[in-house]
């Protein structure tokens, strides 16, 4: 059961209040480089990203937002640290949301000005607590960097915004430690009805970071906690979007693109399954239609999984049986298996488009 939260809206994307879990990412381009930033936003959108965040480290970046926003195909959240004036420039530039860090934006006067400007433009503010930049005062009060310090830091900043008459708030309490992340969000979720943006911060490389994010974000989502996610990877941000959808699909929270089921292979396998699966995965990454594709090595579990899936291949000796919607369609040679599989997938995509119209 998902926990019911209040709803905020970033551009045309609803967050919380039972809306689908929104997928976010963050540009790696220099925000002052308008062309590169707009190009990467389009790449993220093509991968299914729904909101992107842009770093605003200085006045040049803040000013560039006025040029970027009208050209962007995604709602933009400006990421602000240290200097509230950058937030005001970003708001004037037309951003759809702000992320502020209470650990480094403590000037009450600045927060009041940000709240006022955001209220006038009806844009939400995410209070983004990060274990690496947690407020010193909070660390001392709660005896270290722990879930209490994280959750209370977020709530204190939310209260400050509320004192300014601002309630369009989203919260996050990210740590690079997935366990601390889980404990912090659990506590925070018990303290508030504001929507929660989930993430394991600085999670690491594509491989390690995806696993750490899947554990941290996945555990919370499985408990019904969380309204929007960002997988944070030291990689092309398009990979963050792919990883985010893989997590959401695994929990049946969003259907976007295909799910690939493949067996680990074993001594029974008599086809070159690993090479074939890699090729299938690559080609499936360009497909948006939700469907389950099974590629299995042999007749033990192969036909069963392949039948359960929308479409599948079950290996034999140098050949495969192609299954579609639970029925064996035909035998195909190993050499032509991928081509035959994708010919059927193209048919299924066409059928699904025709049903939608």
Would you say 117 or 306 has its CB closer to ligand SF4?
Answer: 306
Would you say 56 or 294 has its CB closer to ligand SF4?
Answer: 294
Q: How far is CA 67 from CA 29, 38, 100, 274, in A?
A: 15, 10, 22, 46
Residue that the structure tokens 């479409």 belong to? 311
Q: How far is the CB of 274 from ligand SF4 (least distance, A)?
A: 11
Would you say 56 or 321 has its CB closer to ligand SF4?
Answer: 321
Instruction: Please pick, from the candidates 180, 196, 298, 309, the single residue that binds ligand SF4 as defined by CB under 6 A.
Output: 298
Q: CA 346, CA 109: separation in Å to the nearest integer?
A: 58
Q: How far is the CB of 297 from ligand SF4 (least distance, A)?
A: 3
The separation between the first and the last C-alpha atoms of the chain, rounded to the nearest angstrom, is: 32
Q: Which span sits near ligand SF4 by CB under 6 A: 52-60, 89-97, 117-125, 257-265?
A: 257-265
Instruction: Please pick, from the candidates 51, 90, 263, 348, the single residue that binds ligand SF4 as defined by CB under 6 A.
Output: 263
Would you say 28 or 269 has its CB closer to ligand SF4?
Answer: 269
The reply to whether 300 sits near ligand SF4 by the rule CB under 6 A is: yes
Q: CA 5, CA 17: separation in Å to the nearest integer?
A: 5
Q: CA 11, CA 16: separation in Å to the nearest integer?
A: 14
Give the distance from CA 297 to its chain's centroid: 32
319-324/292-296 β-pairing: unpaired
State the helix-helix crossing angle for 84-93 and 59-71, rounded to 10 degrees. Answer: 20
Decide: helix, strand or coil at residue 93.
helix
Instruction: Please pick, from the candidates 209, 226, 237, 297, the single residue that binds ligand SF4 as defined by CB under 6 A.
Output: 297
Quick check: 265 and 278 in contact, CB under 8 A? no
Q: How far is the CB of 349 from ligand SF4 (least distance, A)?
A: 27
Q: How far is the CB of 315 from ligand SF4 (least distance, A)?
A: 7
The reply to whether 265 sits near ligand SF4 by the rule CB under 6 A is: yes
The reply to whether 10 sits near ligand SF4 by the rule CB under 6 A is: no
Angle (CA) 77 78 79, round 5°: 115
Buried-state track 319-342, b at ≥16 Cβ within 10 A, e below 16? bbbbbbeeeeeeebebeebbebbb
Would you say 97 or 312 has its CB closer to ligand SF4?
Answer: 312
Would you say 128 or 303 has its CB closer to ligand SF4?
Answer: 303
Q: How far is the CB of 69 from ligand SF4 (least distance, A)?
A: 50
Identify the H or E element spanning 238. Answer: helix 237-250
The reply to whether 268 sits near ligand SF4 by the rule CB under 6 A is: yes
Q: Which span sits near ligand SF4 by CB under 6 A: 58-66, 92-100, 259-267, 280-288?
A: 259-267
Q: Using CB under 6 A as the criterion, what x/- string covers residues 215-254 for binding ligand SF4?
A: ----------------------------------------
Q: Which span sits near ligand SF4 by CB under 6 A: 51-59, 163-171, 178-186, 292-300?
A: 292-300
Q: CA 328, CA 148: separation in Å to the nearest integer?
A: 56
Q: Footprint of ligand SF4 on this chain (CB under 6 A)?
A: 263-266, 268-269, 296-298, 300-302
């Amino acid at each position: 059961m998902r926990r019911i939260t209040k709803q905020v809206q970033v551009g045309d994307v609803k967050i919380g209040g039972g809306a689908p879990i929104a997928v976010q990412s963050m540009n790696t381009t220099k925000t002052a480089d308008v062309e590169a930033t707009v190009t990467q936003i389009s790449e993220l959108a093509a991968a299914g990203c729904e909101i992107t965040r842009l770093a605003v480290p200085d006045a040049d970046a803040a000013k560039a937002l006025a040029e970027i926003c009208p050209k962007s195909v995604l709602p933009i959240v400006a990421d602000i640290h240290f200097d509230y004036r950058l937030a005001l420039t970003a708001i004037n530039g037309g951003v759809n949301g702000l992320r502020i860090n209470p650990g480094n934006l403590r000037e009450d006067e600045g927060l009041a000005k940000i709240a006022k400007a955001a209220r006038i433009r009806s844009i939400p503010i995410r209070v983004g607590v990060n274990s690496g930049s947690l407020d010193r005062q909070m660390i001392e009060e709660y005896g270290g960097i722990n879930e209490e310090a994280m959750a209370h830091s977020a709530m204190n900043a939310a209260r400050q915004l509320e004192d300014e008459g601002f309630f369009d708030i989203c919260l996050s309490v990210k740590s690079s430690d997935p366990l601390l992340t889980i404990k912090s969000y659990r506590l925070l979720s018990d303290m508030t009805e504001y929507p929660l943006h989930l993430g394991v911060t600085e999670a690491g490389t594509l491989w390690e970071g995806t696993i750490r994010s899947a554990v941290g974000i996945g555990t919370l989502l499985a408990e019904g906690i969380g309204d929007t996610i960002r997988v944070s990877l030291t990689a092309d941000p398009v990979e963050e979007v792919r990883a985010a959808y893989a997590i959401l699909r695994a929990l049946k929270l969003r259907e976007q693109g295909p799910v690939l089921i493949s067996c680990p292979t074993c001594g029974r396998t008599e086809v070159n399954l690993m090479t074939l699966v890699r090729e299938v995965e690559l080609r499936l990454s360009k497909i948006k239609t939700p469907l389950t594709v099974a590629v299995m090595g042999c007749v033990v579990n192969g036909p069963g999984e392949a039948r359960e899936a929308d479409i599948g291949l079950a290996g034999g000796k140098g050949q495969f049986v192609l299954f579609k919607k639970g029925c064996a369609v035909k035998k195909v040679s190993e050499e032509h298996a991928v081509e035959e599989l994708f010919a059927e997938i193209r048919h299924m995509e066409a059928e699904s488009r025709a049903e939608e119209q």
